[in-house]
Structure 1
Amino acid sequence: MHHHVEKFVPCGSPWRSPPQGVDLSGIEVIESELLLISRARLEVENQAKRLLEQGMEIQNPSQVGTALQVFYNLGSLRETIGGVVSGYHGVIRENVSSALDIRGLTQPTSTTRGAPGRAVLPTPGNTAAFRAALWTNLEKLMDQICAACKQMQHLQKVLTKKRDPVTHVCFIDDIIKDGQPDLLYTFWSDVTNTLALEFSKATTGSSFLKQAMEGEYPKLLRLYNDLWRRLQQYSASLQGALGGGSGALDASLDISTAEMDGHDLFTQTKHDYNPEKALKASLQPYEAAYLSKSLSRLFDPINLVFPAGGHAPPSPDELDSIIKTISSELGVASGDPDLTLAVAKNAAKTVQLFCVKSEQLLCTQGEASQVIGPLTDGQRRNVAVVNSLFRLQLAVSKVISGLSSIPPAAQQTLSSSLEGVQVLMTAAVQPLLQSVSDSLEAIIITMHQEDFSGPLSSGDHPDVPCSLYMRELQGFVSRAVADYFQHFQCVDFIYGRSEVIAQRAIRLFLRHASLLRPLGEGGKMRLAADFAQMELTVAPLCRRVSDLGKPYRMLRSFRPLLFQTSELISSSAVVGELIPYSTLLSFLFSRAPAELRSPHQRAEWSIARYSQWLDDHPSERDRLTLIRAALEAYVQSVRSRQGKEFAPIYPIMLQLLQRAASGC
């Protein structure tokens, strides 16, 4: 057919209309010729339209190109293409309106006659059939939109490639002038605007449509995503088919692939216009409504299991219902990354609400920190709350790992909410942990009430008993673990905090052991036994004592120094590297005469006050400054009494202090 058309409609053909302004009326021969020309032109146009429609229908670029050449020769290319675009848009508008027509959706299931309003309302028993018909229509609508877009894409691609063989004008340039948007952009804008307008009109007029599209928004979104995916795939395949062909197709269409690249709306964002966002913009009201209802579904089970005035956290079964709701909401939304992220934010708010409700149950009165007797009712409630938070944390973590396709941003949102759970768990156990730590310190400091000044006792006593304070310390730790810590199900969480208590206890033990004076040979033996017992004392607070790191290594390294000479101690490899200079210098004060007073003795501080000062001044420089002042006071006292020499320990301590100062 196209060979016939090209034969009679060459470029510059007399089939074109006569020039405007030339009046040829009244000339019988010419009038008959004009009539013939007009009829012939109409016939050619009709043939070309049929050829164009057929070519677009079967995606044949040669047929489409031939038809376009006819319209170009007739000078009506722009008007014809405009009509084609408008026609497709009109069909889409009718398709959208028909798909959402409430009468058409209810007609198969409605036998009611009479009032018009009744005929368009699905009865309760027919709601399922109504929704099934709606989704069938919407699926069909997406197919119709996809088919129209494919034909428009094909038309634009051919227009972009096709040139007039005489003038070499590219057809797309003959249609799009003066910076106007391309055909596909215009068509797509009209389609997306029509979707937004018709959807809004339909759901405003029908609560049933509104409820269906809001309640099953993820399903609607999947239809849109599938449409977009198909359009992108077609764009890519069309780019390959028309972008670099050979032979007759190239000769017929005559354009390079490079000239095609800027006209692919569905694989590029052009001029800050995002066609995918434009498509989904029509869904925004339904997404907002869906997310609002989703949040309500997530909050409802929490409000149910945390009744006003309640004093107990949710049971495991009640917690399961919360987790199932979270998992369900995320699972339904998992088909779209943006929706998954939005629902994940709702789920994070749900976790936060759980934390707020749980925090309101916590006992924060004085009984929360008592460690004198068994668990109080308030402490039992705190344990139950922490265990409930722990189960929530485990369950949500399992949900996150179970959704393998969850976007990283959604995963991060949920993980961040679990950090809040951890913070609340820590706050809930902190009063008890702090009280246990304080009690350990109070017991350790009582070592100063015992006498370590005695000499070695007569007879062989290979098993030197540990001190009274150490036995009390062991008893308290065992009771604290049995009465308090073992009720928590979050074993790793509790160990993580009780190990900090154990590290603190070891440091305090070393601190006060180094402050004992006078320290006799018998006292050294008993203190050495206390060092060994200290490892057993803190063992229940950790999985392995070696996990305590540096404090454990300090404990092991300090014990041999009890029996070494002062000279060996000052030259030991562990000094400064493992055991702080200030701790070793404090220990050497125990070997000095009474005139060489310890820093706290010189300042007339109690042991407890000095220990607090050390906590407040962790800097080695500050501690060494206080020790230096004590040594200088000793030098001043010797000079004031006109002493002849210093105690043998003084130069050793002074040298050690100078080494420490050079290292700070």
Structure 2
Amino acid sequence: MDAKDVCIEIENDEFFSKFLEETVKPLVNENLSVTDQVTKLAQGIEKLGKSLEKQVLAKHNDLLTQASHITDLEVSLESVQTQVQTLLRGAEKLKDRVHTPYFALQNQTLMLERVQSTCNLLRHTAKILNLWNKLNSVKDNPSKEAMLLFELNELISDYDFEGIELLDDVLIEVDTRRKLLLKNSTELLQSSLLSKDKDKLLQCFKVFHNLQCTDDQIKNSVNTILNDLRAEITVALDVQIVSIEIKKSSSGRVAPGKANIMNSQDFKVKLWDNIEKLFKVELYNSCAKAIMLQNVVNELHAIGNFKNIAKNFWCDLSVIFSSELEKSPTMVNQSIEIDYPKLLKCFNDLLSRLKCKDLEMNRSCLTKWENSFLSKSLGKLLEPVRSMWHLSQVPTMDQVDNAVRVIAEALSISLGDKQLSISLANSVAKSIKQMNVEAEQRLSLDSDVAQIIEPPNSTQQKNAELCNSLYYFTSQIKRVLVNMNSMLPSESIQIVQNSLKDISSMPVLQMFAESIKNSLYIILMTMHDEPDLIRADGPAGKSLSCSPYMKELQQFVSRCKDIYLSMFSEKPALNECCSNIARACIERFIQHICNVQPLSTFGRVKLQIDCKHLEIALSPLVSDITELGDHYRQLKALHLLLEKSPQEIARSQSEGACLPYSLVMMFLFAFGGQHLLAPHTCAGWNNQKLMQWLDSHRNEKERLEFVAGALQRYQNHVRLNQITSYDEVYPVLIQLLEDGRKALRK
């Protein structure tokens, strides 16, 4: 059996496999007797033995070769062992040669180090003793004493001088004198701040600088001042203390047997007395100390960079005041919210007294109270505005005066603080906007609000009253702004003025203006029905008056001004409205006269008289008609135009007349024959259609082309009918057309 097979058989046998396991359990098989087990075990050993014999016989040559190699290996190992022992002996000798000088050098280095330490100690001791002797000679000079003490302290801290009896007393005395000098300088600093003795402060800081403790001393001084201020602020805002002070001050006024109950007004007065005193005395003195520290340190450039002492102190002070105010009782906070401008005034007055450019108002710490104050102020501003618009009634002058008074008070309490003034101006603008919104909601814009036939109805009267109330409101506010102009910031004034721009009577007046203009247009349209305009006889020797339509126009304008427009009090808007009506009337009057056909010599004289009477007719609207500018100049030019021949008219146009070329050309068609038809006649329009076209086509180029179309039609008519000559007006019209086009190209 092969050796491999023997191994496999033993591994697979239940009995033999137990001997292959690494276990501490007994290998006795409970199913076999001990004799059987021994027998089987002997058989297995015998099998293994035979298997080993077979393997030895099969590989005896290889075994013999390996045995001989083992002998050679043992010889080589003995040789290597001999060489290793020789090497070890050489290493021991080398070790002895290296260690001996190393230990000697180490001992010498240690000795040198100790010598150097001793020398340094002796040198430092000599310096300490030398400085100590100097120190004893400068007792009356704190600055030099501080410098020497600092040097001594630096030398002492470099080494441990324990055990050197020569320095024991010196070290103790140096420490004592340093503490004593620091204590005395600190006390001198506090007393100098109180007495505002700048020279002593300079002396203190020289000592602190030489002791290298300036930063700590500044921090300690500032913290001491701030802690004292915190206590003062707490006392000033303490309700119980305020109550006690009120009782003491009123003890002489209380009737016997009656309880002394604190009045809220007395509390507010006493509280603000305490706060104002706090700012005028404690806060001012404390800030003055910080500024004095800053100034003294700035003079001593050599002691370091401490440029923000006053600024940081002010920031810390603002935070402390805010936190103490936050912790104060509700009564105190309510008083601050109501009279917040007083608190701002206290801060601003304090800053103005201190006159330090590094200090500025820290509003972020007061945001809570400022927002609350602005919220309540807005409520106060809106309340009279909302209350005056009860149901649908028009507010009375007293109600408007009350609202204006509240606005004036709001603007006046912010004097002295620009940011608060701007914030309150925005609140005032909201109040004004609310006033305008309330009025607009009650204005009626129905169709009957612009009727000018019957007497003013209730809706028209109410609209006028609303407009007049708004105008009175705005005029009173403008008067307030004028009175406060020198005190209020320009930004605040601008905010309020901008809010007033949207308030005007013009929307309602504009509706009346449109109705009046439409009626005027209808009256002017009757001009074409006047028989005098086509009378053939001459006007010489006759007493002429204005046309009937002009008389009607005069009566109508006067009636509208007296009955309808006079209801409104806002003169600027009323003047603008009247000027607008007057301009429209003159413009339409000129357009009609330039298109009257036929028109006789008598008619032109009649129209000249109408031109003069139009100025009279418009006088109720415009006291000085010359203020109408170009419209007035065109009316005067029309008056002159009516008495000129076509050639004279063309000449005056070339010399720079005021009337547009298109209207002058339309006027000249009245001088032509029956074949030279006016532009609107060519188009088949009546006068009303022509006026509508002129209103919608105000561009001079379009109007010239409209006239050019009539001239082209006439030219075609002459050519088709082989008429030998043109109408005598035609060349004048052609020349004016060319001149008009040239004028447009310039």
| 1:155-190 CA-partner distances (Å, limit 9, x unpaired) | 222223225xxxxxx1124xx6xxxx8433433332
Alpha-carbon offset, residue 12 of structure 1: 6.1
The separation in 2 between residues aligned to 1:92 and 1:458, in whole angstroms, is 104
User: Which residue of the partner structure matches residue 492 of structure 2?
Assistant: 410
Contact 2:382 2:431 in 1 (8 A): yes
User: Which residue of the partner structure matches residue 217 of structure 1?
Assistant: 340
Which of these residues, 705, 713, 721, is aligned with residue 641 of structure 1? 721
Amino acid at match of 2:345: R
User: Which residue of the partner structure matches residue 185 of structure 2?
Assistant: 48
The separation in 1 between residues aligned to 2:364 and 2:525, in whole angstroms, is 70
Alpha-carbon offset, residue 576 of structure 1: 4.8
Equivalences for residues 503-542 of structure 1 within 5 A: 503-542=583-622
| 1:44-72 CA-partner distances (Å, limit 9, x unpaired) | 22221222223323333321121122223
| 1:554-602 CA-partner distances (Å, limit 9, x unpaired) | 2122123223211111101587531111111010001112221111111
Alpha-carbon offset, residue 640 of structure 1: 1.0
The separation in 2 between residues aligned to 1:151 and 1:444, in whole angstroms, is 86
User: Which residue of the partner structure matches residue 259 of structure 1?
Assistant: none
The separation in 1 between residues aligned to 2:515 and 2:438, in whole angstroms, is 25
User: Which residue of the partner structure matches residue 171 of structure 1?
Assistant: 303
Alpha-carbon offset, residue 366 of structure 1: 1.3
The separation in 1 between residues aligned to 2:646 and 2:192, in whole angstroms, is 103
Alpha-carbon offset, residue 504 of structure 1: 1.0
Q: Match of 2:156, SS?
A: coil
Contact 2:208 2:217 in 1 (8 A): yes
The separation in 2 between residues aligned to 1:12 and 1:37, in whole angstroms, is 7
Contact 2:539 2:602 in 1 (8 A): no
Query: 1:390 and 1:185, CA in 2 relative to 1: closer, same or farther beyond 3 A?
Result: closer
The separation in 2 between residues aligned to 1:126 and 1:15, in whole angstroms, is 66
User: Which residue of the partner structure matches residue 386 of structure 1?
Assistant: 467
Contact 1:369 1:435 in 2 (8 A): yes
The separation in 2 between residues aligned to 1:575 and 1:617, in whole angstroms, is 26
| 1:438-479 CA-partner distances (Å, limit 9, x unpaired) | 110111112122335533447965321322222221221121
The separation in 1 between residues aligned to 2:585 and 2:617, in whole angstroms, is 10
Tell me the percent identity: 27
Alpha-carbon offset, residue 662 of structure 1: 0.8
The separation in 2 between residues aligned to 1:484 and 1:543, in whole angstroms, is 18
Q: Match of 1:194, SS?
A: helix
Query: 1:328 and 1:77, CA in 2 relative to 1: closer, same or farther beyond 3 A?
Result: closer
Alpha-carbon offset, residue 484 of structure 1: 0.7
Equivalences for residues 85-484 of structure 1 within 5 A: 85-109=222-246, 125-142=262-279, 143-162=281-300, 170-173=302-305, 182-202=308-328, 206-231=329-354, 233=355, 235=356, 267-268=357-358, 275-277=359-361, 279-307=362-390, 309-310=391-392, 312-403=393-484, 404-422=486-504, 425-452=505-532, 454-457=534-537, 462-484=542-564
Contact 1:495 1:542 in 2 (8 A): yes
| 1:605-649 CA-partner distances (Å, limit 9, x unpaired) | 221121111111211111101111110111001111111111111
The separation in 2 between residues aligned to 1:104 and 1:17, in whole angstroms, is 52
Contact 1:298 1:350 in 2 (8 A): yes
User: Which residue of the partner structure matches residue 61 of structure 2?
Assistant: none
Alpha-carbon offset, residue 650 of structure 1: 0.3
Query: 1:606 and 1:337, CA in 2 relative to 1: closer, same or farther beyond 3 A?
Result: same
| 1:117-174 CA-partner distances (Å, limit 9, x unpaired) | xxxxx997422232223222222332322222222222222223225xxxxxx1124x
User: Quick check: 186-195 or 403-412, which moved more?
Assistant: 186-195
Alpha-carbon offset, residue 37 of structure 1: 2.5
User: Quick check: 36-45 or 479-488, which moved more?
Assistant: 36-45
Query: 1:651 and 1:520, CA in 2 relative to 1: closer, same or farther beyond 3 A?
Result: same
Alpha-carbon offset, residue 6 of structure 1: 4.0
Equivalences for residues 532-571 of structure 1 within 5 A: 532-571=612-651
The separation in 2 between residues aligned to 1:104 and 1:313, in whole angstroms, is 51
Contact 1:109 1:129 in 2 (8 A): yes
| Gapped regions of structure 1 (runs ≥ 5) | 112-121, 164-169, 236-266, 269-274
User: Which residue of the partner structure matches residue 67 of structure 1?
Assistant: 204
Q: Which has the larger radius of gyration?
A: 2
User: Which residue of the partner structure matches residue 262 of structure 1?
Assistant: none
User: Quick check: 461-470 or 531-540, which moved more?
Assistant: 461-470
Alpha-carbon offset, residue 19 of structure 1: 2.6
Query: 1:141 and 1:535, CA in 2 relative to 1: closer, same or farther beyond 3 A?
Result: same
Query: 1:379 and 1:618, CA in 2 relative to 1: closer, same or farther beyond 3 A?
Result: same
The separation in 2 between residues aligned to 1:109 and 1:407, in whole angstroms, is 39
Q: TM-score, normalised by structure 2?
A: 0.76
Counting helix residues as a fraction of each chain, which structure ranks higher? 2
The separation in 1 between residues aligned to 2:446 and 2:398, in whole angstroms, is 29
Amino acid at match of 1:384: E
Contact 1:557 1:574 in 2 (8 A): no
The separation in 2 between residues aligned to 1:519 and 1:480, in whole angstroms, is 31
The separation in 1 between residues aligned to 2:205 and 2:635, in whole angstroms, is 93
Cα RMSD (Å): 2.4
The separation in 2 between residues aligned to 1:448 and 1:286, in whole angstroms, is 75
Amino acid at match of 2:521: E
Which of these residues, 216, 219, 227, is aligned with residue 82 of structure 1? 219
Contact 2:539 2:605 in 1 (8 A): no
Contact 1:452 1:524 in 2 (8 A): no
Alpha-carbon offset, residue 39 of structure 1: 2.5
Query: 1:160 and 1:575, CA in 2 relative to 1: closer, same or farther beyond 3 A?
Result: same
Amino acid at match of 2:372: A
Amino acid at match of 2:360: E
User: Which residue of the partner structure matches residue 496 of structure 1?
Assistant: 576
| 1:410-453 CA-partner distances (Å, limit 9, x unpaired) | 1111111221112xx11122111110111101111121223355
The separation in 2 between residues aligned to 1:603 and 1:153, in whole angstroms, is 91
Q: Match of 1:413, SS?
A: helix
Contact 1:498 1:542 in 2 (8 A): yes
The separation in 2 between residues aligned to 1:124 and 1:611, in whole angstroms, is 84
- 2:684 maps to 1:599: no
Amino acid at match of 1:150: A
The separation in 2 between residues aligned to 1:27 and 1:575, in whole angstroms, is 122
| 1:296-338 CA-partner distances (Å, limit 9, x unpaired) | 111111111101x31x321112211111111111111222222
Alpha-carbon offset, residue 370 of structure 1: 0.6
| 1:81-133 CA-partner distances (Å, limit 9, x unpaired) | 2222222222222222222222222233469xxxxxxxxxx997422232223
User: Which residue of the partner structure matches residue 166 of structure 1?
Assistant: none
Query: 1:229 and 1:331, CA in 2 relative to 1: closer, same or farther beyond 3 A?
Result: same
Q: TM-score, normalised by structure 1?
A: 0.85
Contact 1:452 1:516 in 2 (8 A): no
